[in-house]
Structure 1
Amino acid sequence: MRVAIAGGSLGGLFAGALLRRDGHEVTILERSASGLDGRGAGLVAQEEVFAILRALGRPEVATTGVTAHERITLDRAGGVAHRDARSQMQISWDALYLAVRDLMPDGCYRIGAAVDAAGSDGDRAWLRTADGGSVGADIVIGADGIGSVVRGSMFASREVEPHYAGYVAWRFLLPEPDLAPISVAALSERFAFYHMTGGQALGYLVAGPRGEIEPGRRRYNCVWYRRVADLPGLLVNCRGEPHLYSLPRGSVPADVRDRLVRDAYALLPPPFAAVVEAEPEPFVQAIFDLEVPRMTNGRLALLGDAAFIARPHTAMGVAKAAGDAMALADALRREPVNAALRRYDAERSRVGQAIVQYGRRLGASLE
């Protein structure tokens, strides 16, 4: 079959690589003009990630990462209030992305191809790009995330929209050598937390942008969850342009970044505050919940965050996308297309709903 996929991040790549392995003709359309390598941090691999890497013949990717030798919780002064001696490895998002991307020939993976419409008619489906081009297919997969164009084409009303949870994640990702001495002493080689009323900070070392794990070539990944009542007021970039869901790296206004640093020293333990100050280009992601009533319609299918958005506290976003991709590929091996899509919807909708509910429980104290 011909399969067209909107979205070239991990979910789209997982599905594309599995379906291409099964003999289908796959085209992935990715909005970014430069690709996505170098943009990720670290992730805690769940069983679905190990399973899909085994299926794709790349199991070694899940065994290479940066290990935090203990988990600690800091007090306001920066001392260790709680210690857990269990270690935890964060595999490299970028190494995972590059490994799966390498399974897709360049002709199957088109960058700079922004999808602006999708549709299905009988046994055919299609994607239209912003430059006026189109790709016809037997199946279209929407792996295009929170602002999914494919999802928008499946539901006529605006009732299926992401629901803002009341808080955002400020993200900081800086080269290990840029860490201040106070941060190195307290945070290096550890998975660290700080809990506060209406907020939480956490951080850990991750691989470098090409999967480097040697000391000095790694990066420090830090997240600060904060309540924000006026989300539209925050999501305005340095050129005065509004954004719906996030402000990417390099677009946060200087005065907002300066205020963030002041707030960090007023509210966070000094080691975390120094991380915030050391990051010249923080970026911010609003936290949303999303559930769709169904994952398929005609020859259109949703996958990953295009269908169900679970809060990042679950650490299950990549695993959920991997599970979706494996379930869809398996269903298409077993049954004719329409029956396979019904099977996929029934199986993965239940899983997606459960993960979203789990994320709501984990994030309830931050709302």
Structure 2
Amino acid sequence: MATPAPEQPPPGQEAKKLHFVIVGGSLGGLAAGIALTALGHDATILERNAAPVLQDQGAGIVAGGDTLAFFARYDRTGRPLAVRSARRQYLDRRGAVVHAVDVAQSMTSWDLAYHLLRANFDGLASAYCPAPPAPAPPGRGRATHLHDRRVTRFEEEAGGGVRAFWRTAAGAEGSTLGDVLVGADGPSSTVRALLEPAVARTYAGYCALRGTLPEAAASAATRAALCERFTFFHGPGVQCLAYLIPGRAGAVEPGRRLINFVCYANFPAGSPELARVLTGRDGRRRQVTMPPGMTDPGAWEEQRAWARAALPPPLAEVVCGAERPFVQAVTDVLSPRNEYLGGKVVLLGDALAGFRPHTVASTSQAAFDAMLYADYVAGRVSRDEWIRQTLGFARYIQRRGVDMGERSQHQDLPLEEYIRDRDVASTPREQEVFPDWATAI
């Protein structure tokens, strides 16, 4: 049950060393752990996945201003994070450019971002970062990463702090005590579900078809059309976009990069088409994400046929050439609050608000939330400022994503309308003016 937070000094502003227990070891949890240990506090990440390292996702990320700011502030690896796109362009069905604007944007991959964050948090060595920095240099707190810890519940301790109870895949049970519990466990957050059981993650009626094609495997015509470009196509009930991202082991050199695509296509809830695209080669029906390598070949062949019939030739080539495509159901979720139990439990990133991917803001939200929460813990911003900025961003961008998705997938608008939507979504966060309804506490 949600408990109103009393007006009192928050944990962390009394200048003592704290232990933060972070539920979720993906980008948001790692970002929070890095920011908090940089202040000298200890952080323990509880990641539910049974493997010690999360599987590569093969997904592209538009590295917005807050993502770049986070790495500028905290990254100690010194390796490149992103490749640059010089132009945003729109194609017609024949593949001709019908609108273009020169604007620089940075693009990265989930895989590279994850491994760089792990290198910074707990010193994980990988092909992406073979020689990571020391995880706990002088002045930093202790960083602990525990996998195979599925949190099932938590309790406020009578003597202070919060205890998170977990279970392993083998059935072993245990608990971890911390001063503050941070829910950074994604749109299907267990922490949020325990606090706000009435808040449900809901399907939006369409899916994102995703994947990559090695730059070197694309035809010369497709490379000329898409490389160093952020490319869009809109048609009735469909939006498709593509951009370059770092390649294997985070390679950013021309010829070694990947062309990343995202295509939004409508699959009505409960329809046989939705069931087919979310049922893997193992016969298992997924609810939200069909991971790379598990897509049923027959189901994906249907999507290839759709791409050839519906998309401009360069985008169709990339979709049809993807070797490890995956599918994500587009969903909505938003928590009414980000702070509970007097600040002893907080929600960050996707656990607070799951954005539709049209916003290209989920990773930026994780980075922003981690930086601002660390500033709050350090006493650099007030509680009201932290809450208003975090909730303002969450509520405003979440609603923007819903509006963009509904217009893209369910309204047949002039291209100029979709261009305007994208231009607005590209506004830097610090230039946004959040309305009163978004920042209300």
Fold-level match, TM-score > 0.5? yes
Taking the aligned partners of 2:399 and 2:61, their CA distance within structure 1 comes to 21
Are residue 109 (structure 1) and residue 152 (structure 2) matched?
A: no
Deviations 1:241-297 (A, max 9, x none): 222211111221121111111111111112211111111321111111211111122
Is 273-282 or 100-109 further displaced after alignment? 100-109
> What does residue 356 of structure 1 align with?
398
Q: Following superposition, which runs of at least 4 residues in structure 1 exceed 6 angstroms of deviation?
A: none
Q: How does 1:202-281 map to 2 (within 5 A)?
A: 202-230=241-269, 233=275, 234-281=277-324
Give, as a single letter, the amino acid of the residue that structure 2 aligns with 1:73: Y
Q: Give the match for residue 97 of structure 1.
A: 114
Change (3 A) 1:256 1:320: same
Aligned-residue identity in percent: 35
RMSD: 2.4
Would the aligned equivalents of 2:87 and 2:103 in 1 still touch at CA under 8 Å?
yes
Deviation by residue 1:144-194 (Cα, 9 ceiling, x = unmatched): 101111111112x3x201222221110012322232444224223322111
User: Helix, strand or coil for the counterpart of 1:249?
Assistant: coil
Q: CA deviation at 1:19?
A: 1.0
Given residue 288 of structure 2, which amino acid in structure 1 is its aligned partner? Y
Q: Does 1:197 align with 2:233?
A: no
Structure 1 position 346, deviation (Å): 4.3
Q: Distance in 2 between matches of 1:26 and 1:64?
A: 24
Q: Spell out the pairing of 1:45-64 with structure 2 (5 A cutoff).
A: 45-56=63-74, 58=76, 64=81
Cross-structure match for 2:205: 166
Q: What runs of 5+ residues in structure 2 fail to find an aligned partner?
A: 1-17, 124-142, 411-441
Deviation at 1:136? 1.3
* 8 A Cα contact 1:128 1:134, kept in partner: yes
TM-score normalised by L of structure 1:
0.89
2:231 and 2:85 map into 1 onto residues whose CA distance is 9
Q: Distance in 1 between matches of 2:240 and 2:338?
A: 34
Are the counterparts in 1 of residues 36 and 374 from structure 2 also a CA contact under 8 Å? yes
* 2:57 is equivalent to residue 39 of structure 1: yes
Partners of 1:181 and 1:52 lie apart in 2 by 36
Is 2:86–2:103's contact at 8 Å kept on the other side of the alignment? yes
State the AA in 2 paired with 1:114.
R
Contact 1:40/1:209 (<8 A) preserved: no
2:49 is the alignment partner of 1:7: no
Of the three residues 87, 99, 105, the one matched with 1:82 is 99
Residues 50 and 59 of structure 1 are in contact (CA less than 8 Å); yes or no, is this contact kept in structure 2? no
Number of equivalent positions: 360
* Greater Cα offset, 22-31 or 40-49: 40-49
Unmatched 5+ residue regions in structure 1?
A: none
Q: 1:138 aligns with which of 179, 193, 214?
A: 179
In 1, distance between residues paired with 2:93 and 2:150?
A: 45
The structure-2 alpha-carbon separation of the partners of 1:56 and 1:188, relative to structure 1 and needing over 3 Å to count, comes to: closer
Aligned with 2:281: secondary structure?
Answer: coil
- State yes or no: 1:126 paired with 2:163: yes
**Residues of 2 paired with 1:52 and 1:222: CA distance?**
25
Residue 6 of structure 1 and its aligned partner are, at CA, apart by 1.1
What does residue 304 of structure 1 align with? Answer: 349
Residue 74 to residue 343, structure 1, CA distance change in 2 (3 Å): closer
Letter of the 1:127 counterpart: A
Q: Aligned to 2:250, what secondary structure does the other structure show?
A: coil
Compute the displacement of 1:236 (Å). 2.3
Q: Take 1:85 and 1:52, find their aligned partners in 2: how far apart are those partners? A: 25
**Structure 2: how far apart are the matches of 1:331 and 1:89?**
28
Which residue identity does 2:356 align to in structure 1? R
Deviations 1:12-58 (A, max 9, x none): 11111111121212111223314237435443333322332343255
Is 123-132 or 91-100 further displaced after alignment? 91-100
Tell me whether 117-126 or 318-327 shows the greater mean CA deviation: 117-126
